[in-house]
Chains A and B, each alone.
Chain A
Amino acid sequence: MAVGSVQGARERAFWVIGSVAIVVYALTPVAWILSLSLKPSGSLTDGRFVPREVTFEHYASIFEEGFFTSALRNSVGIALLATLLAVVLATFAAYAISRLDFPGKRLILSGALAVAMFPPISIVGPLFNMWRSIGLYDTWLGLIIPYMTFTLPLAIWTLAAFFREIPWDLEKAAQVDGATPFQAFRRVIVPLAAPGVFTAAILVFIFAWNDFLFAITLTSTESARTVPASMAFFTGASQFEQPTGSIAAAAVVVTVPIIVMVLVFQRRIVAGLTSGAVKG
């Protein structure tokens, strides 16, 4: 018994120390940014972790500048639209892949994977030229399309895995109960695959929200520039001043929606939603 508890305590300590180490490692830079954003301009370089004096002047200043507010609006709009479209498309595609037998199924799956592995940097150049000639340059759609392209494969794979887990019989039952195939899909299959849908949504949203490469290449004005790209355009109060405080404040602001998004959807991603459907 005594040996057991000593061992238990050791194991506990091991896990606690491990977890703390990872959390500290991951969150220190975030905390540093937060600290910077709260310091008055004069004490930015004092090297203190905890600010001597807390000020919200940087937050106020970034929202005074019109281009940050519009960038925020662009970011939210583009990321949400890309998420919505990608998830809807991926849901249909994944359902077809997991449920129907059609020629070229494997090709589609491996093709999707290949797209996901494609380095984005290799297509931004051509895309830049193409978008300019067809008028998609510096528009929301011009960013939504590449975001969808790069996130669809992952979303399809994730959702297909979830769909495969759903017993076939539920669909047959729905059909016998009088549902059309689409009703069965919408009222039975999609609700059951909800954890998968939300997982896919988070992945797409994070990709679209964080993207810098496409945003900086395919935009030129406030009409479509997103936050990650616009942060490069911050300037200090004078040409001799670094905009460190403003950038830190913007970085904190841009992190908030992601945290909110994950916290909201995390509740939805509950395991075992399908338990009780069929015996087992």
Chain B
Amino acid sequence: MAEITLEHVTKRFPDGTEAVSDVNMEIGEGEFMILVGPSGCGKSTLLNMICGLEDISDGELRFDGEVVNQQSPKDRNIAMVFQNYALYPHLSVRENMAFPLRLAKVDDAEVTRRVEEAARILELSEHLDRKPANLSGGQRQRVAMGRAIVREPVAFLLDEPLSNLDAKLRVQMRTEISRLQNRLRTTTVYVTHDQTEAMTLGDRVAVLRKGKVQQVASPQELYNHPVNLFVAGFIGSPAMNFLPARLEGGQVRLPMGSYPLREEQRSAVGEGDRDVIAGVRPEQLEDAALVGDDDRGSGITFSAAIDVIEWMGSELFAYFGVEGAGATSDHLQEIAGDLETVEMSAGGAEQVVARLDAASTVTRGDTAELWLDTRRVLLFDPDSGERLASSG
């Protein structure tokens, strides 16, 4: 186990493009760190630099204080699980898992002991003599995990390990990985483009965009206090709604109504009137009929023409248009473009999505009374994309 420190780590390709620029991060011993971001954000490059498959152009990478920039992958004692598992097809499951130990010239008895223990943990004991071709996707995934854990490495690196599994298996393996990491307490760096995985698995999550770290924080922190529009839009499903807003005389004017600016936001936005972007999570919207009188006062009640209803069983997603809503800043437009490759609700910018209680009787085509909880509305600067807040 080790502590991994990245200091000003940069990856520059020969053509001058920076895939990763100036990443500073400290991954504590035994920590489960997630690198998340849309495709092309540099997260896999960063992972490859940690394991040594890619050179570091600039900056320092340290394991437990020791600089390892120049060490080849085989000297770093880290294990990696690849997106496509990369099992050796000509070797049995047993030999696949034993491969790193054989290279390290571990004696046979020890190899057998470690492989069998890993197989027991991963429930692969019956399949040890099979070839990878005869295994299901989930089993192959587990063999890849097994090959990683037999080495007792200083760190696990996982590169989108679940993206090749079907939805059901993915959820199951997600829990399994989480349990495994809890049990082994090995420092783990996990790359994914799926914000759900990031939120459910990680102790801390680093959100990357275009090679730059946007925010490193716990999932709760990311969700409740995103530092900028990108993180706010990326984390959470369905995504956060962005509405054009204007600050006028201590009031926040949203398309659906106004409310007084909260005290702690006042110092951050400064004096004077200005345009801002308001971020509203779907769950901040509720069917007004279901909101108690006590709460009504701390929000805006308005009517909206419901376009689409998605009934999920435990909840209800209602989509409606808001006049003047949509991409009001270049930032939003750019981010929407970035996120398109991930999972942004169709036309995310024009439509507002509300997560309503399943008891709601709102139907499609209705004009419904909705209530917006203004206590947790986030405000962003339309030019810089930064969140306007006095502190974290």
What is A's interface to B at a CB cutoff of 8 Å?
A: 167, 169-170, 172-180, 183, 187-188, 191-192, 194, 272-280
Describe B's contact surface by its main secondary structure: loop
Point out which of A167, A177, A183 has the most chain B C-beta atoms below 10 A from its C-beta: A177
- Asked if A177 meets B132 with Cβ closer than 8 Å, knowing A167-B86, A273-B90, A278-B84, the reply is no
- Contact present for B79 and A176 (CB under 8 Å): yes
The B109-166 residues at the A interface (CB cut-off 8 A) are 131-135, 137, 140, 147, 151, 164
Contacts beyond the supplied A178-B104, A179-B74: 17 A-B pairs with Cβ under 8 Å: A169-B83, A169-B84, A170-B86, A172-B80, A176-B51, A176-B52, A176-B73, A176-B74, A176-B80, A179-B103, A183-B103, A272-B133, A273-B90, A276-B133, A278-B87, A279-B84, A279-B140
Q: In whole angstroms, how far apart are the Cα atoms of A67 and B132 in the complex?
A: 53
Distance A61 CA – B137 CA, assembled complex (angstroms)? 63
CB atoms of B86 and A175 under 8 A apart:
no
Name the distance in Å between A254's Cβ and chain B's nearest Cβ: 35
Query: Is B268 interfacial (CB 8 A cutoff)?
Result: no
| Known A276-B140, A279-B164; contact A178-B74, beta-carbon cutoff 8 A | yes
With A176-B73, A176-B78, A276-B134: A170-B88 Cβ-Cβ less than 8 Å? yes
Contact across chains for B87 and A175 when beta carbons are under 8 A apart: no
21 residue pairs A–B, Cβ–Cβ below 8 Å: A169-B84, A170-B86, A172-B82, A173-B80, A173-B82, A176-B52, A176-B53, A176-B73, A176-B80, A177-B103, A178-B74, A178-B100, A178-B151, A187-B99, A192-B88, A272-B133, A273-B89, A276-B87, A277-B89, A278-B86, A279-B84
Min CB distance A270 to B, Å, is: 11
Q: CB distance A175 to B85 under 8 Å?
A: no
What is the CB-to-nearest-CB distance from B156 to chain A, in angstroms, rounded to a whole number? 11
Of chain B, the residue at the smallest CB distance from A177 is B100
Complex: A152 Cα to B234 Cα, angstroms: 54
Check if B53 sits within 8 Å of A172, measured CB to CB. yes
Residues of B within 8 A of A191 (CB): 90
Across the interface, do B103 and A275 meet the contact criterion of CB distance under 8 Å?
no
Select from chain B the residue with minimum beta-carbon distance to A172: B53
* Chain B positions 326 through 342: 1 when the CB is less than 8 Å from some CB of chain A, otherwise 0: 00000000000000000
Q: How far is the CA of A178 from the CA of B86 in the complex (A)?
A: 15
B74 contacts A192, C-beta separation under 8 Å:
no
Determine the residue in chain A with the shortest Cβ distance to B157: A176
Q: Say how far A53's CB is from chain B's closest CB, in angstroms.
A: 53
- Rounded to whole angstroms, the CA-CA distance of A114 and B279 in the bound complex is 66
Would you give the shortest CB distance from A93 to chain B, in whole angstroms?
23
Interface centre among A173, A194, A274, A276, by most B CB within 10 Å?
A173
Residues in chain A near residue B137, CB distance under 8 A:
279
Selected from B73, B100, B104, B131, the residue in CB contact (under 8 A) with A276 is B131
* Shortest Cβ distance from residue B72 to the other chain A in the assembled complex, whole angstroms: 8
In the bound complex, how far is the Cα of B53 from the Cα of A226, in angstroms? 50
Interface residues in B35-94 by Cβ distance below 8 A to A read 51-53, 72-74, 77-80, 82-90
